[in-house]
Amino acid sequence: MSASVLFWGLGLAQLLLVCAMGMAAWRIVRGPRAQDRVLGMDTLYLNGMLLIVVFGVRTSSPLYFEAALIIGMLGFAATVALSKFMMRGEVIE
């Protein structure tokens, strides 16, 4: 009983994360300002990272958790760099 609940719950979580990634991609394409596009990119990488984590839970493989950690670190650095570029016009001073 509990294995089937976990199976369907993880499947639903993956479906909803894919829908959230689609909405974030729409915000990137449609965003009227650059700030909206950066926020969309931040949301997109976060949802992608969570999708990989859910897939790792489903397959019971620790490799996916390491990949999600790397995506999280690179996404955070990219968000900080884009925010700094939008504020000052340059990333490296």
Task: Provide the whole-model pTM.
Answer: 0.85
Cα–Cα distance list, 9 to 18, 44, 54, 55, 79 (Å): 14, 21, 10, 12, 30
Taking a C-beta distance cutoff of 8 angstroms, is the pair 68, 52 a contact? yes
Domain architecture of the chain: domains with CATH: 2-88 (1.10.287)
Measured between alpha carbons, how far is 47 from 57 in angstroms, rounded to an integer? 15
Taking a C-beta distance cutoff of 8 angstroms, is the pair 77, 92 a contact? no
Measured between alpha carbons, how far is 41 from 85 in angstroms, rounded to an integer? 15
Measured between alpha carbons, how far is 39 from 92 in angstroms, rounded to an integer? 21
Q: For residue 89, what pLDDT is reported? A: 77
Instruction: For the chain, 93 residues long, give each residue's pLDDT as a single digit of tens.
Output: 678 898 999 999 999 999 999 999 999 999 899 889 999 999 999 999 999 999 999 999 999 999 999 999 999 999 888 888 888 877 666
Q: For residue 93, what pLDDT is reported? A: 66
